[in-house]
Amino acid sequence: MEKYKVCPNCGEHNNPIFIECTNCGTDLMSVKVVDETTENIIYKPMTETEMIKICECGAENPPAARKCSACNEDISDILPTPKAECCCKKYVLCEISGAYTYDIPQNAEIILGRENILKEYISDKSYVSRSHAKILSEDGNLYITNLSGTNFTYVNNEKISNDTPTLLKSNDEIGLGGCVINSNRQDLAVYLVVREMYIARILYPIEVLGPGKRIGIWFCGCSHRCKGCSNPELWQQHEKYKISVDAVCELIHQISDANPVDGFTITGGDPMEQSSELSVLLQKIKAISDDILVYTGFEIEELTTKQLENISVLIDGKYKEELNNNSLLRGSFNQRIHILEEKQRVKYENYLSTESNKIQNFTTNDGVVSVGIHKPDFMN
């Protein structure tokens, strides 16, 4: 099979002995020799997006750096990843039980109430005024102001001012017309949660990360930043991956309406770093398949009962490159497989005893994505 060097600037295929690109003159001294099989997995032409290396300590470094500028650790084996875009955040309002959501437009002002935004859901909630509260989205921040003279607005169970906008953050709870009393919410009030969710890709059929033909969902954002991670491009929450729960569910239903779905595999990034959003999503997709496998770098002892709801199988623990023995479903053998729903036990025990590791490659908008449990040197 023919081997060549792919120019990281223009994508030109060059003779493997060349030290400069014949098309644009870019230095090829550090560019690896590839063939048709490995090209799309490893290389994509550079865009105007700034590339950086992110050390395990969290520091950002130039893409050619060999040592971290902050901690002096060796980062020569860390792959460069696009720097997160500095864009305004998008927020989603989610009814406390997940019954409905509303995507808040950027740099906009909206009115919540029985005769305004969400009126189709809350028209029968008599504790909510016709124009109850104003939400302002401005320069990536979110503010709320009470407009009702009779029915108050609460943020995290604290009554807010009618005059001064209150800054909202992800996971803040808004009460329209009612607070929480003795852990009980009032039936005639409305309770909303501010959500942010980042999902990088949804792929089907995934046949290498669990039994059958599955829908794979990759969350974006991970603070673990394990050495040798196969998805370092998903460590940061890029604005282009911001999406609402409803939009994700719509995509999933488009797949499931036309294809058999034997289960879901949810990975990342780390889904548990968006555990509230994950919980809402799991409630909605459980009806499609009750086989839901979730990967996380946290250990099960660090998670709450609430975070584990609706998860059939959990694979926990950080990836440790030196412990990668090509185990089925596990990136490294320190990770544990927890079968949380007994009805899935036989299915997974059969899968683990009869299957072997395989790799699937998918063409996506971000290039070719290689899916599966990879050996430590798969990028070499």
Are 9 and 26 a contacting pair, CB within 8 Å?
yes
Q: Which residue has the higher pLDDT, 162 or 43?
A: 162
In a domain, 170, yes or no: yes
Residue 46: what pLDDT? Answer: 31
Residue 190 pLDDT: 96
Task: Provide the pLDDT confidence category of residue 313 given band limits of 50, 70 and 90.
Answer: very high
Q: Which residues pair with 302 in a beta bridge?
A: none
Strands 199-206, 214-219: pairing is antiparallel
pLDDT band at 16 (very low <50, low <70, confident <90, very high): confident
Does residue 257 fall inside a structural domain?
Answer: yes
100: amino acid identity, one letter: Y
Residues 231 and 151 in one domain: no
Q: What angle do CA 132, 137, 142 make, to 5 degrees?
A: 80
Same domain, 96 and 149: yes
Q: Among 303, 253, 250, 307, which Cα is nearest to 280's?
A: 307
Q: Could you count the other beta carbons within 10 Å of the beta carbon of residue 14?
A: 19
Give the pLDDT band of residue 233 (cuts 50, 70, 90): confident
The residue among 195, 217, 250 that closes a domain is: 195
The single-letter DSSP state of residue 27 is B
Asked if the structure places residue 70 within a domain, the reply is no
User: What value does the mean pLDDT take over residues 264-279?
Assistant: 92
Same domain, 210 and 346: yes
Asked, for residue 341, whether it belongs to a domain, the answer is yes
CA-to-CA distance for 79 and 76, rounded, in angstroms? Answer: 8
Residues 137 and 177 in one domain: yes
- As for how many domains the chain has, the answer is 2
Examine the domain organization and report whether 238 and 365 are in the same domain: yes
Q: Are residues 223 and 302 in the same domain?
A: yes
Q: Pseudo-torsion of CA 145, 146, 152, 153, nearest 10°? A: -30
Q: Is residue 97 part of a domain?
A: yes
Instruction: Give yes or no for residue 90 having a pLDDT over 70.
Output: no
35 belongs to a structural domain? no
The single-letter code of the amino acid at 126 is: S
| Mean pLDDT (whole number) for 232-257 | 84
Does the pTM surpass 0.95? The reply is no
Structural domain contains residue 113: yes
Contact 116, 85 (CB under 8 A): no
Quote the DSSP letter at residue 53.
E
Q: What are phi and psi of 275, to 5 degrees?
A: -65, -35
289 in any annotated domain: yes
Q: Which residues pair with 175 in a beta bridge?
A: 154, 191
- Using CA atoms, how far residue 75 sits from 27, 63, 97, 168, in Å, is 21, 10, 44, 37
CATH number of residue 168's parent domain: 2.60.200.20
Q: Which of 1-15, 58-72, 86-100, 207-221 has the lowest mean pLDDT?
A: 86-100
Residue 224: CB atoms within 10 A of its CB come to 17
Domain shared by 215 and 171, yes or no: no
User: Does the pLDDT of residue 89 top 80, yes or no?
Assistant: no
- Count CA atoms closer than 13 A to 114's CA, side-chain side: 13
> Are residues 243 and 302 located together in one domain of the fold?
yes
49-88: string of b/e by CB count within 10 Å (b at 16+)?
Answer: eeebbbbeeebbbeeebeebeeeeeebeebbbbbebeeee
Residue 176: which domain range? 91-195
CB 367 within 8 A of CB 379: no
Domain boundary among 152, 171, 195: 195
What's the rounded mean pLDDT across residues 212-220? 94
Same domain, 209 and 184: no
The answer on pLDDT for 85 being more than 50 is no
The answer on pLDDT for 47 being more than 60 is no
What pLDDT is stored for residue 338 in this prediction?
Answer: 98
Task: Name residue 347's beta-bridge partners.
Answer: none
Among 161, 195, 229, give the residue marking a domain's end: 195
Query: Are 180 and 261 contained in the same domain?
Result: no
As a whole-number percent, the residues of the chain with pLDDT over 90 amount to: 47
Nearest to 109 by CA among 131, 86, 142: 142
| Domain co-membership, 232 together with 367 | yes
Say whether both 230 and 256 belong to one domain.
yes
Q: What does the pLDDT read at residue 302?
A: 94
Residues listed for the chain:
380
Lowest mean pLDDT among 28-32, 130-134, 198-202: 28-32
Burial of 5 (0-12, 13-18, 19+ CB in 10 A): buried
pLDDT classification of 38: cutoffs 50, 70, 90: very low
Query: What is the pLDDT, as a whole number, of residue 139?
Result: 77
